[in-house]
Every structure is written in structure tokens, then in C-alpha cells.
């Protein structure tokens, strides 16, 4: 489990100090946890899972996916399923347009930072 804590932190692009702050721990305590020299409480497991949308079973056992589905995914699926086919197609078209716009904006932002 301890190596998975570091894996989560790396997936979130956080350093030890940033991640530890979310857990109410010091950076050195987190460093010791990541190498298995210090125990990790159930409270901190719950905080990690709730704060970062982490699959608790994966954290404890390594089985399954690291992240739970998006916080919005289930709600979006329910809404989509309640729409008629024509409206579903329209929503899909709009979502694709939104994705294209996001990619253009991100690309522009990356180019501006150089």
C-alpha cells in the first residue's frame, strides 16, 4: 500500500509537501510512510480517497483502477440516458465541439508560455 501512496502523489503531480498538507501530515512523515517505515491510519486512507477520488480497494490491495470514475460521470450518464435519441445526438455533437475548443485553448496557452 505504501508504494501506491507515492503512485497517487505522482499521478496528481504533487510533491510530498503538497500532498502531506492535504492529509494534515508533515512532509517527513509522508516520506517515511511512502517507504513503509511509518504506519498509515484508516483516517488518512479515507481522506486520500475522498479528496482525490481514489478507489479505496485499489489503495489497500492494488486491485482495480486507481481513480474512481469522475465525480460527474454518473450524473452525466443519468442525464444522457433520460434524453431522446435526437437530443442525445445533439449533446454528443456539442460535447465534441467543447472538446475541440478546450484543445485549442490549451494549445494556445502552451504556445503563449514559451
Same domain, 86 and 107: yes
Query: What total number of domains does the chain contain?
Result: 2
Same domain, 32 and 79: no
Q: How far is CA 7 from the centre of its chain?
A: 12
pLDDT of residue 74: 73
Same domain, 54 and 77: no
Same domain, 36 and 77: no
Residue range 13-29, pLDDT digits in tens = 999 999 999 888 899 99
Give the span between the Cα atoms of 18 and 39, in whole angstroms: 19
The CATH number of residue 10's host domain is 1.10.260.40
Q: Over the chain, what is the mean pLDDT? A: 89
Same domain, 52 and 80: no
Q: What is the span of the domain harbouring residue 47?
A: 2-61
Is 27 contained in some domain?
yes
For residue 51, which of 29, 20, 15 has the smallest C-alpha distance?
Answer: 20
Strand, coil or helix: what is 54?
Answer: strand
Amino acid at each position: 500500500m505504501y508504494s501506491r501512496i507515492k503512485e497517487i502523489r505522482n499521478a496528481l503531480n504533487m510533491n510530498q509537501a503538497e500532498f502531506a498538507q492535504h492529509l494534515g501530515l508533515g512532509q517527513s512523515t509522508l516520506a517515511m510512510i511512502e517507504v513503509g517505515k511509518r504506519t498509515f491510519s484508516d483516517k488518512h486512507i479515507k481522506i486520500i480517497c475522498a479528496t482525490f477520488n481514489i478507489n479505496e480497494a485499489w489503495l489497500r490491495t492494488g486491485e482495480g483502477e486507481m481513480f474512481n470514475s469522475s465525480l460527474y460521470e454518473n450524473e452525466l450518464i443519468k442525464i444522457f440516458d433520460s434524453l431522446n435519441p435526437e437530443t442525445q445526438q445533439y449533446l454528443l455533437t456539442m460535447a465534441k465541439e467543447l472538446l475541440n475548443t478546450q484543445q485549442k485553448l490549451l494549445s494556445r496557452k502552451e504556445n503563449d508560455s514559451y
